[in-house]
Structure 1
Amino acid sequence: MPTLRELTDDLIRQEQTLRKGGGEEGQQRQLRHGRLPVRARLELLLDKDRPFFELGLWAADGMYREWGGVPAAGIVTGIGFVADRACLIAANDATVKAGAMFPQSVKKLLRAQKIAAQFRLPLIYLVDSAGVFLPLQDEIFPDEDDFGRIFRNNAVLSAAGIPQYAAVMGNCVAGGGYLPVLCDKMLMTDGSQLCLAGPALVKAAIGQVVDPEELGGASMHAAISGTVDFHEPDDPSCLKRLRALVDLLPPNVPPATLDNATSDSPAPDHHVYDVVSADGRDEYDVRDLLRCLVDEHTLQEYKAEFGQTLVTTFAKIAGHPIGIIANQKRRCRTASGEIQVGGVIYPDAADKAARFVMDCNQTKLPLLFIQDVQGFMVGKQAEQAGIIRAGAKLVNVVSNSVVPKFTVIVGGSFGAGHYAMCGKAYDPALILAWPSAKYAVMGGNQAAETLLSLQLRDAQRAGRTLREDEVAELRQSIQKRYQEQTDIRFGAARGWVDAIIPPADTRLWLQTALALLPASTNREFKTGVLQV
């Protein structure tokens, strides 16, 4: 079994391949059209002395194989800095299926818009897309989380005062044409196309033969339709203009705040690799992990002797106060002498965590959830102690929290434990995962045995008795399939996490996110009816 560091190094190598998009041939095609590949565009747009926090790099990984694959879902998204302003970038990669939008491309862009809204970050769209991928239009077109939601979000973001800039730097046809026009400022380069229907479709629909430039070129939109605000000759000029326009915005984060990534950190970042095992089987004290993430001497543990399988603590990260709920991965002994298994949520731990979440909402402290959870405790004793009631209370307060929430999955993330610890469905501002993370409704061995028993029952009902070697082969097949599905790359491909990050970068991601948070809202914290 590789170590966590080896797992991380392997993941980084795989990500280098993903960043190549459609490969060398696709990039050369862009250059022949007088356009830069998407990563070259980002190099000119982003500040060179700031990190780019890429989101959704693993989107669509292993999916759409019948169409040749869609690396990173054909769109690059992330938080970067433009003229010292933090911005959310969404840039089509035209080397991947001409930038066509697949179902996961839409999901990725919608998530980027949601993150921009939560952090109130200016949005910059670099548009170079052939529009909806027509063979899959039935999975993209009409629903509330489909393609049309992008344009609805454009309008809502604008109404909320969140700046949006769109630069059409290639194709922008059909319904996709609404995205740039719904933005506050629109730029367009020579040689680009912006129209609801291309020349071929126009001819088929109304019999009109029209020149592409007259139909939707940059000169036409700048001088005749009046749609374009800034007409630029090429990509470098367009990106330079974008930087100048963003530079007109008020600063959205004090520069010094983001330069404090390692100050007051008690341990070198690489120490996290010594705490958590890659396979998740070893016990560890989660406090050792927290000391690698938070400022030195700032941990103030809440109810430290009660509900010990969840550690609840106040702390600071780069000077930003935060409340942390983390799964404890070593066995604990209660005051009554009961041994509690690490990574399992017991009734006392759920009760403690629920009260802690309410307390953080009372004092407007952001919440950080560190997940390495097998689920809630089961069995007669747990049921009689009210595990469902206690778990429901924790789910309730997490659901109704009004403070920003962040989630980092370092190991297992299974079953209702994933929900209670602020899984994707519970609106974390960011949900990050380590390469060691595993994601499923239950652990692999339990799931394999459950599925196996069901298939054996079906075989018996059909009058068949499986031989021992057939049972062993079936068990192995189920385990293999389940292991593939619990791999965090499987979840990341489907948008269940925002990014898989090197463990040593966790503090940098968190301190940056905390620095970018807008002022706390005045929303009132309410829970409705709680079972107590």
Structure 2
Amino acid sequence: MPALESRIVPESEAYRQNHAAVSDLVDRLRALEARTRDKSEASRERFERRGQLLPADRLGRLLDAGAPFLELSTLAGFCLDHPDPERSVPGAGFMAGIGWVSGVRAMIVVDDSGIDAGAVQPMGIEKFQRAQAIALAQKLPFIHLVESAGANLLAYRVETFVNGGSIFYWLSRLSAAGIPVISVVHGSSTAGGAYMPGLSDYVVMVRERARAFLAGPPLLKAATGEVATEEELGGAEMHATVSGQAEYLAEDDADALRITRELLAALDWNRDLPSPTRSYAPPRFSADEMLGIAPADHRKPLDMREVIARIADGSVFLEFKPDYGPATVTGHAAICGMRVGIITNNGPLDPAGAAKATHFIQACCQSDLPLVYLQNTTGFIVGKASEQGGMIKHGSKMIQAMSNATVPRITVHCGASFGAGNYGMSGRGFFPDFCFSWPNARTAVMGAEQAADTMATVMAAGMQRKEQAVDHAAIEAMRARVIETFERQSDAFTLSGRLLDDGVIDPRDTRKVLACALAVCDEARRRVVRPIQFAVARP
């Protein structure tokens, strides 16, 4: 198969500008993630006085040493908890990701009780449910390290309460689907949160620290007049010996995590899943060059073959119909030994490109090849020629094929993602298995300048219809407002804060992230689960 050649010139001014701009965006991403870690770290002394591990340390003790951990949605809630980007603490109050525990790939959620006692933050419900959805679709054991103050009553929103019930719905569905649900209770798990361990298949509780009750002492006294201690109502020892709520009683955080690792090993989750042996060659070009390839300005060209050359094994890419609809790039490649079909863009989607993509999607489904979408498009092309050429019907066929594809779909926003191009290229609204963004990516119904020009034309025409003089100053003020609105909402950090992807990634990590996501999907398709009619009921 042919290997791609690279035409970039690292010494060029364009490359240096791209590298500097995208490096700054990656630095911003890492600084925001560090802000969350630092705020939790500030609680270390308090945790140590109580004989507890910080949430990040709990995660480290749970995971297999040296194994990869794909953290998801690190920017969730960004600028929703606080409007000032310099004061917002992203993450939505907990960590979530896919990692290895006793040789088993699992979805892990860790309440970050180092921040506001683990209270639910904006987008916290949505982030938790996204982790559950991935676990269900990819057949991943679900492990929750619990310690949370629950809902923030000072910031109460009724929709958070109502939609939060879906967390318990999905816990029940996970268990019934034959997927183990494990809760490790390190501290408080009260009121609605008590149903976290209540709806788990296995519960580990830490002696003298863990609490699980529907009503704590103050609420109990206010509601019934009864007086009881926290230990009597929901202490770990009581649940292990009296209520039967806990299967395992741990002496401290580290002991609870040891028990959890031993439990997952005992479940023999991988017994029907032989680990495939894959051999492959690395790309011929350095991933570090991704920063110079990706322009911070979406109006500048981005040759996606340069990206493919840095993520494909051996930089080998067998392009499919290269001379037909050439702005749409399709072809076969492998990523860390896993064969895939790649669909990407070097321009807008035209009728020929959409028809080619439809053909390629269906052919990949026939061959059972996962699809990797690398988004970089200003949308479906407009104009008399494209309309007469059947843009609507060909674009619709592409959307139909993508929506009904029978193979995994993984999407990466690498550049522009505008208009219906976002839809046709497997945007978040079409439920790809995973969806990630580069920090320079832009997503909107159209470009900011295009939107402003459109509205300016409409505004001027309206003035003329009313036989008014065209107010150019008013039009320019409106244009500025439209551009500001679009620019503010279209950047990758804002979108990721609203859970419109599964995380912003460093472009240099694209191959690693794709390999992890593809391996998760491959394992899920080969795994045999044993569903039951109802979730596992506790005694």
Q: Structure 2 length as normaliser, TM-score?
A: 0.87
The residue aligned with 1:339 is none
Is residue 2:237 matched to residue 1:219? Answer: yes
SS in 2 for 1:161: coil
Equivalent position amino acid for 1:52 in 2: F
Per the alignment, do residues 395 and 305 of structure 1 end up closer, same or farther by CA in structure 2, a change over 3 Å counting? Answer: same
**Worse-superposed segment, 5-14 or 185-194:** 5-14
> Are 2:32 and 2:89, in contact at CA under 8 Å, matched by a contact in 1?
no
The residue aligned with 1:333 is none
User: Mapping of 1:107-506 within 5 angstroms?
Assistant: 107-134=126-153, 135-142=155-162, 146-190=163-207, 191-250=209-268, 252=270, 263-296=281-314, 298-328=316-346, 343-452=347-456, 468-469=472-473, 471-506=475-510
Equivalent position amino acid for 1:226 in 2: G
Deviations 1:223-245 (A, max 9, x none): 11011011112111111111111
Per the alignment, do residues 62 and 208 of structure 1 end up closer, same or farther by CA in structure 2, a change over 3 Å counting? Answer: same
Shift of 1:471: 4.3
- Partners of 1:166 and 1:243 lie apart in 2 by 12
Shift of 1:468: 4.8
> Are 1:360 and 1:366, in contact at CA under 8 Å, matched by a contact in 2?
yes
> Are 2:70 and 2:516, in contact at CA under 8 Å, matched by a contact in 1?
no
- Partners of 2:479 and 2:295 lie apart in 1 by 26
Which structure 1 residue ranges, 5 or more long, are not aligned?
329-342, 523-532
Is residue 2:34 matched to residue 1:30? Answer: no
> Are 1:364 and 1:520, in contact at CA under 8 Å, matched by a contact in 2?
no
Is residue 2:56 matched to residue 1:52? Answer: no
Is residue 2:515 matched to residue 1:511? Answer: yes
The residue aligned with 1:85 is 104
Q: CA RMSD in A?
A: 2.6
**Worse-superposed segment, 273-282 or 449-458:** 449-458
SS in 1 for 2:416: strand
- Partners of 2:222 and 2:459 lie apart in 1 by 53
Deviations 1:71-100 (A, max 9, x none): 310011011111222111111111233222
SS in 1 for 2:284: coil
- Partners of 1:462 and 1:167 lie apart in 2 by 68
> Are 2:109 and 2:144, in contact at CA under 8 Å, matched by a contact in 1?
yes
Shift of 1:521: 7.7
Residue number among 36, 59, 64 corresponding to 1:18 in the alignment = 36
> Are 1:60 and 1:494, in contact at CA under 8 Å, matched by a contact in 2?
yes
Per the alignment, do residues 420 and 165 of structure 1 end up closer, same or farther by CA in structure 2, a change over 3 Å counting? Answer: same
> Are 1:22 and 1:71, in contact at CA under 8 Å, matched by a contact in 2?
no
Shift of 1:28: 3.6
Shift of 1:136: 2.9
Deviations 1:194-252 (A, max 9, x none): 01111111112112111111011111111110110111121111111111112224364
- Partners of 1:29 and 1:415 lie apart in 2 by 49
Which structure 2 residue ranges, 5 or more long, are not aligned?
1-16, 528-539
Deviations 1:445-494 (A, max 9, x none): 11233345566788899999786555444433332232111110000000
Higher RCO (C-alpha 8 Å, min separation 6): 2
> Are 2:283 and 2:315, in contact at CA under 8 Å, matched by a contact in 1?
no
> Are 2:80 and 2:122, in contact at CA under 8 Å, matched by a contact in 1?
no
> Are 2:41 and 2:54, in contact at CA under 8 Å, matched by a contact in 1?
no
SS in 2 for 1:19: helix
Shift of 1:69: 4.8
The residue aligned with 2:58 is 41
Shift of 1:380: 1.3
- Partners of 1:394 and 1:427 lie apart in 2 by 15
Shift of 1:265: 2.1
- Partners of 1:442 and 1:284 lie apart in 2 by 18
- Partners of 2:464 and 2:101 lie apart in 1 by 64
Equivalent position amino acid for 2:221 in 1: K
- Partners of 1:162 and 1:419 lie apart in 2 by 31
Shift of 1:346: 0.2
- Partners of 1:345 and 1:377 lie apart in 2 by 6
- Partners of 2:44 and 2:234 lie apart in 1 by 24
SS in 2 for 1:282: coil
- Partners of 1:416 and 1:204 lie apart in 2 by 55
- Partners of 1:443 and 1:485 lie apart in 2 by 11
Shift of 1:167: 0.5
May I ask how many residue pairs the two structures share in their alignment?
Answer: 502
**Worse-superposed segment, 165-174 or 273-282:** 273-282
> Are 2:448 and 2:482, in contact at CA under 8 Å, matched by a contact in 1?
no
